[in-house]
Amino acid sequence: MSTFTAIAIMVAWVFAQRFLYGFDDRWIQNRRDTIVSGIIGGRPASTEERWVLVYTGWTGAVAGAVGTQILLSLAWIILAQSVDQKELKLFAYVTVFFTWIGVLAWLAETFVSYMRFRSLLRESETD
């Protein structure tokens, strides 16, 4: 692959991945805010329905976001293997590294949010 083509593909891929990362992050945040505001606001939904909301909507958002970034990191690795320039390979591998930092951050955020959901739902059950 020529240098110009590889650079053009990488620039386009970075913009697409950044857009998806921002979209996925807002999706996760909005789902979490919806659940928390429903619990704190005392909306008349049963506790079972709230747990269903946590397990389906919110975990689906997290799984979709993490899965998308994993697929994009695999595509970056494939792209790195197809270029001959060392600088472009380094750029691709650094991008994979930062993608995985983002994925691990989402997983840590997921754990903390889940623990918060559990405590909020238990508090709302006792009220």
Element (H, E) at 38: helix 3-40
- Per-residue pLDDT tens digits for 73-123: 998 898 888 888 888 888 889 989 998 998 898 889 888 887 887 777 777
CA atoms within 13 A on the CB side of 95: 27
Q: What is the pLDDT of residue 56?
A: 64
Question: Which of these, 61, 58, 44, lies nearest to 118 by C-alpha position?
Answer: 58
- Per-residue pLDDT tens digits for 27-69: 777 777 777 776 666 665 555 666 666 666 677 778 888 888 8
Q: What is the pLDDT of residue 116?
A: 80
The whole-model pTM stands at 0.71
Q: Which long-range contacts (CB under 8 A, 24 or more apart) does 84-92 make?
A: 84/1, 85/3, 85/6, 88/3, 88/6, 88/7, 88/10, 91/10, 92/10
Domain chopping of the chain, boundaries: 3-126
